[in-house]
């Protein structure tokens, strides 16, 4: 996997927690995590991120609090999916470390400068922090080596509305701003591919009930999704974006220009036209990714389950 410095931008709900666990388990060079309002409010997202890192013994990774609301659009959260605590009732103990003094946009600017030409930036929440950072320092578009976005539904229906994926719906203005920039390399990982990778009930049931570390965390945060009546499994939306950040070859992508509807009934709709600079993921090697994910977090997969 890619050994480039990695920065994550999260609105830590259940699949964000799994994405952090994957990055740590895969041995990524995780240089910082920024938080943003989305799945839950910014206070909760930041606290959840600190708790997850502490649980994983990775509390030396710096955490930077970010935007508390979208650029323009009204704010929505998703307790119906992530629970009142944002972590599906995982009940992780409080962290013993605190967030950093820099804000998330300031941290993105600083990391882009420090790791110019190398930094991989993976955003698995609304794009608010990245859009603000671009406004603060437009040069980051040239400095960041690769941007990976978990957001959008390019060829499939949305999951927040028939037109829009959740992250795109929450801050469509920020996402559109990000898509219009001329990044060195930008990947869009939408529902078209994330719905192809999931922890099935069989995989979940094979995780020991007393598992600790990354395996225990994944079991705890995915419990509500597995045991709930509305879904058959736990989609790995955010972990797949991390996977693309580490190894883009895990997906097959095409080049498109993307614009985002920012208001009205189709708010958050991601509209593609062939020939742009955005690498939109169209297919994923689901077996290879699931093997990578399960190996990294220490849970059984396939014949191991």
Please list, in sequence order, all residues whose beta carbon lies within 8 angstroms of the beta carbon of residue 47, skipping any fewer than 6 positions away: 94, 95
Task: Give the tokens for residue 247.
Answer: 């190894």
Question: What is the set of active-site residues?
Answer: 237
* Residue 99: per-residue pLDDT: 96
- Give the residue-averaged pLDDT of 26-40: 96
pLDDT tens digits for range 248-257: 999 999 999 9
pLDDT of residue 233: 82
According to the 3-state scheme, what is the secondary structure of 170-217? HCHHHHHHHHHCCCCCEEEECHHHHCCCEECHHHHHHCCCCCCHHHHH
Confidence check: pLDDT of 258 > 60: yes
Mean pLDDT of the chain: 92
Least confident of 51-55, 87-91, 261-265: 87-91
Cβ(163)–Cβ(201) below 8 Å: no
Q: What is the pLDDT of residues 9-19, one digit of tens each?
A: 999 989 999 99
pLDDT in tens, 191-228: 999 999 999 999 999 999 999 899 999 998 888 888 77
pLDDT at 42 (0 to 100): 96
Query: How far, rounded to the nearest angstrom, does the alpha carbon of residue 70 sit from its chain's CA centroid?
Result: 17
Each residue's pLDDT tens digit, 157-174? 999 999 999 999 999 999
What's the pTM value of the predicted model, to 2 decimals?
A: 0.94
Identify the structural domains of the chain with CATH numbers, from first to last.
5-304 (3.90.245.10)
Q: What is the CA radius of gyration of the chain?
A: 17
């Amino acid at each position: 996997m890619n050994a480039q410095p990695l920065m994550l931008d999260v609105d830590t709900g259940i699949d964000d927690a799994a994405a952090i666990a994957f990055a740590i388990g895969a041995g990524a060079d995780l240089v910082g995590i920024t938080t943003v309002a989305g799945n839950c409010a910014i206070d909760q997202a930041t606290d959840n991120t600190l708790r997850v890192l502490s649980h994983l013994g990775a509390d030396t990774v710096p955490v930077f609090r970010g935007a508390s609301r979208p650029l323009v659009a009204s704010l929505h959260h998703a307790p119906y999916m992530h629970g009142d605590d944002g972590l599906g009732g995982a009940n992780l103990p409080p962290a013993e470390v605190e967030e950093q003094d820099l804000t998330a946009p300031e941290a993105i600017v600083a990391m882009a400068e420090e790791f110019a030409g190398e930094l991989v930036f993976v955003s698995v929440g609304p794009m608010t922090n990245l859009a603000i950072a671009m406004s603060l320092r437009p040069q980051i578009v040239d400095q960041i080596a690769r941007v990976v976005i978990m957001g959008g539904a390019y060829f499939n229906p949305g999951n927040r509305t028939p037109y829009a994926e959740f992250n795109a719906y929450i801050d469509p203005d920020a996402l559109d701003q990000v898509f219009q920039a001329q990044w060195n390399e930008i990947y869009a990982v939408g529902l078209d591919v994330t719905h192809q990778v999931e922890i099935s009930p069989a995989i979940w049931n094979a995780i020991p009930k007393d598992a600790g570390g990354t395996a225990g965390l994944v079991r705890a945060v995915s419990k509500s999704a597995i045991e709930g009546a509305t879904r058959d499994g736990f989609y790995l939306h955010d972990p797949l974006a991390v996977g693309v950040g580490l190894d883009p070859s895990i997906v097959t992508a095409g080049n498109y220009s993307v614009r985002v509807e920012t208001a009205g009934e189709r708010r958050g709709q991601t509209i593609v036209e062939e020939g742009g600079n955005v690498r939109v993921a169209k297919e994923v090697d689901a077996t290879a990714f699931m093997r990578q994910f399960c190996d990294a977090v220490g849970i059984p997969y396939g014949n191991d389950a």
